[in-house]
Structure 1
Amino acid sequence: MNVKTGIGLALLLLAPLASAQVYKCKGSSGETIYSQDPCGAGSEPMKLRSNRAASESAGEAANRAAVYRTTGMSDAAIAERNCLQGEQSRIYGPLESRTQAVNRQVAQLDRQLAAARSTPPDAGGTLPNATLESGIRAQISSLQQSLSSERVAADAQMSTARDRCASVRRDHEDRVQQQYAAPASNAY
């Protein structure tokens, strides 16, 4: 691009702002030249189009505000969903790991229980086997109760997290409503 063409394009872009006429001409070498002055006797100004209306009607402003409001409300809902997913991972992730560990321990204790039942009574009689089985059952029960208590605590934490995430969403929605409730003349 030569300097004249570059200047001509700059004039073209600035023309709507300056309300100047722009003429498209052919140079001596056949190149396109843009000028504020007519190039010859038959030169006519170019018709310039603006991509944006000079002024916005009240309906257009209301439509734009409605789109922004809807987008803001969607953003609030997405933020709440992300908040809940993060809290769910933070709260239930460790619980799920603990549940898997407890299930492995219970499976091991079940194997010990099965082995104790299949062991023939020896010189000590059946009392030692019964005591061993009772002890294993108590360990299994204790692990299951502990896990149940941890789940109840996690559910309570998640309930609190839901309330907090919902509150953040409501605050976001209120800000969006206030921002776009202004008269259309104040909108940009």
Structure 2
Amino acid sequence: MPELIFYFCEVQNAFKVYMVIFKSHQIVQAFNMMDSDIFIGESEEHKRITIKAKLLFIKAFKVYFWLCNAGFACNSIVPFISFLIFRTKLYLPVCNYYFLSDETRDHYFWYILTYQTYCVYNHMMYNISIDTFMSGLILMGLAQFRALNDSLKNIKCVSKNKITDEAEERRLRTELILFSN
């Protein structure tokens, strides 16, 4: 079962690598758009929404980072410490290389264990980076939609005596059309 899960994770990661390598131009464009003055916003509410989304992303990234590292420690470091202290049997963390003979696997056990542990950690760090990258893009997109929704709610211009100001309405419509292009 662990080998099957590992296989499906690798297929998923192949698609992630494809996205990062072959879609990097679109990713850079998305970052450039998010760094523009339009996305930063002029109103205090827009800035508050953007900052709140960034702080949520940072908090979620830290939680995810530490949970993944704790999981790695439980899966790789704790069994090694248990082996050193209590002389329990060590198992390979990813797959048992059943295609090798038992003698070969036992002879190269420490090399295989070191290799797998190192690769699992690097693989985990790669997954943390790419998963939080994609969720961060989605979160920032949602924040921009919230800010846009807030801006659109307040687009109607009414004078002090509750009469619609036609000139201001035309100016706002023109600004909205220019903003959408």
Q: TM-score, normalised by structure 1?
A: 0.42
Higher relative contact order (CA 8 A, sep 6+): 2
Q: Greater strand share, 1 or 2? A: 1
Larger radius of gyration: 1
Q: Greater helix share, 1 or 2? A: 2
